[in-house]
Each structure stands twice: as C-alpha cells, then as structure tokens.
Structure 1
Amino acid sequence: MPEQDQAIFEARLWRDKGWTAKVIKNDDDEGWAVAMLKDGEPEPALVGPWTMGRDKKNPKPLDANAFGTLVKTASEVIRRHEQQLHALLHKSLQLSTDEADYKIMLDIVPDEDDPYAYLSALDADGAELAKVKVAANYKLDRKNALRWIENEFRRPD
C-alpha cells in the first residue's frame, strides 16, 4: 500500500480518503493555519486560519468533525475553480437566422506553447455543421458568429 494511501490521524496531521490536512505555523502572525492538500496535487486547495487550543499557545488538535468540514470546504473550492476554468475555456451562444437556429461554440485548448481554439456550429438538433481551428484569443460574439455563418463556416482570418 503506497504511503499516501495510509490513513494518519495525528493532532496536526490527518490523511484520509485522498486528502491531507496539516496544521502549520501561520507566518503572518502568532497563530496557526491549516492546509488542505488533495492527493496528487502540488499546491493546497485551501489554506485557512486554525483555532488555538485551550493553552492559547498551541493549535487545537484535528478531529474527525473538523477534517470532514475541511474536506467539504476544500472540495467546494476545487469545484468552483473547475467551473470558473470551464467557463473561461468553453463559450457558446445561441442565434437564429432566417435559414436556421444555431449553437456556436468556442473551445479553447490552453496549450502552454501554442494555445488554440475550435470554433464549431451545431444545428437545432445538435448535429455538428462545422468545426474550424482558430486563435485562442478569437472573440466569440454575435457579430463574429453571424459573419462566420454568412461566410459558409470558412475559417475566420
């Protein structure tokens, strides 16, 4: 069993079900913080303040309830980040012409060296009518979409 799969339940370190919670000294003040790290990720999904213990010097120990809440909160942060990224990379609009109704989509591929995007058109039944490669900074708006349709779905300049 790999080390990261083994559950750990210590006062300042919990690891279970794909998550690690680690209580750390808060460098910004005299308090404590907790970092939530999802297995396989290089950076914490969440870092937040942690409660002081009764002695007002050491951190409160982690427990099952706190860990569960932290996992839920960190999962929500990741979910919102993924939704935001999806919204940035995938845009669409609906439009109608005298001939037909269309759904025009722009799907950006964030390649580190050479980002690009696919511009595609679907008919009212969801069948793909056209798909062309465009620059990642292509502006999908009503005007450009109508121009693309009028141009018989030829690749925009």
Structure 2
Amino acid sequence: MSDPDSDLPIHQDRLWKDDGWTARVIKNEDDEGWAVAMYKDGESEPALVGPWTMGRDKKNPKPLDAGAFSTLVKTASEVLRRHEQQLQASLNKSVGISVGDASLTVTLTIVPDDYEPYAVLRALDEHGEAIAEKRVAPTFRLNRQTASEWAEKNFA
C-alpha cells in the first residue's frame, strides 16, 4: 500500500496525490453511492467533498484519472479561494466619511487571536496615509456614524 503522506505522486483508482492535493474516493455514508474528498496537503479536513460517479458495473466507483483530478483540484482551489475572501471580508471593514473639506477612509481590522482578539481602527487621508489609529474591541461596529463620531472627538 502506498503512503499517502509521502511527497511522491500517487495515481491509483481511488487515490490520487499530486501537485499539493489528494483525492480519495470514499463510500458515501448517506446512500449506496460514492463520494470524492479533496485534501490540500497539510490539511486534516477536506476542502471539498462531492458525489462520485459509479463505474460501469453500478457497484464500484469510476476510477480517478488525470482529467477528473485536474477538475477536482480546480474546483477545490476555488472553494478555498472563496472561503479566504469571505474570511478577509469579515475581518476587514471600511467606510468613507467627510470631515470638513477632507475625505477620509476609516478601516477596522480584526485580529482573531485565540486568547485576546482585538481590532484596530484606522483613519486614512486621501493619499492612504494613516492619520489616527486606535485599538478597539473586536466587536466594535464600524459604520459611517461611529466613524464620524470618532473623527469628531479628534480620534480620541
């Protein structure tokens, strides 16, 4: 049996490992069919799990091949990319405000530390230069009103 943790490519009917990814065809626990799980190297949880096609005998799974593996890698990579974008969007917020004649951008960056999470509130001028910064609770709600109130208090 091949070691799925080695760095060498593996191209078997139910296990393909190549280019930083591993595809495993597994018995689908929910019904009589098969599923495929895609793992990125170094990750314990699959990036993608989906149904897998039955073979011609209608009992065993269709064997993995280069084309299917390539499609699975592309799909799993896209799932991870979307997940990272969602995470970034949830950790980084910004609003634009006007203070006098100046247009400012106020950003909130959440630092998701396991022990002491916090957020950093920043005011940026038109050129993207930071003019004020303050550490706040990670639950701070950034919106135009809270940003304007912070600016009215001279960023105190």
Superposition TM-score tier, normalisation by shorter sequence: over 0.9
1:124 equivalent in alignment to 2:126: yes
Distance 2:98 2:47 in 1: 42
1:32 equivalent in alignment to 2:34: yes
Distance 1:41 1:118 in 2: 30
CA-CA distance at 1:3 after TM superposition: 4.4
TM-score by length of 1: 0.95
Q: Secondary structure at the match of 2:114?
A: coil
1:105 equivalent in alignment to 2:115: no
Is contact 2:99–2:151 with CA below 8 Å preserved after alignment? no
Is contact 1:4–1:39 with CA below 8 Å preserved after alignment? no
The residue number in structure 2 matching 1:47 is: 49
Is contact 1:101–1:123 with CA below 8 Å preserved after alignment? yes
Out of 83, 92, 95, the position equivalent to 1:93 is: 95
The residue number in structure 2 matching 1:10 is: 12
Out of 135, 138, 141, the position equivalent to 2:137 is: 135
Q: Secondary structure at the match of 1:5?
A: coil
Q: Percent identity?
A: 63
Distance 2:18 2:111 in 1: 34
The residue number in structure 1 matching 2:148 is: 146
CA-CA distance at 1:71 after TM superposition: 0.1
Distance 1:18 1:4 in 2: 11
Instruction: Tell me how large the CA RMSD over aligned residues is.
Output: 1.1
Out of 16, 20, 23, the position equivalent to 2:22 is: 20
Q: Secondary structure at the match of 2:133?
A: strand
Structure 1 gap ranges (5+): none
Q: Secondary structure at the match of 1:91?
A: strand
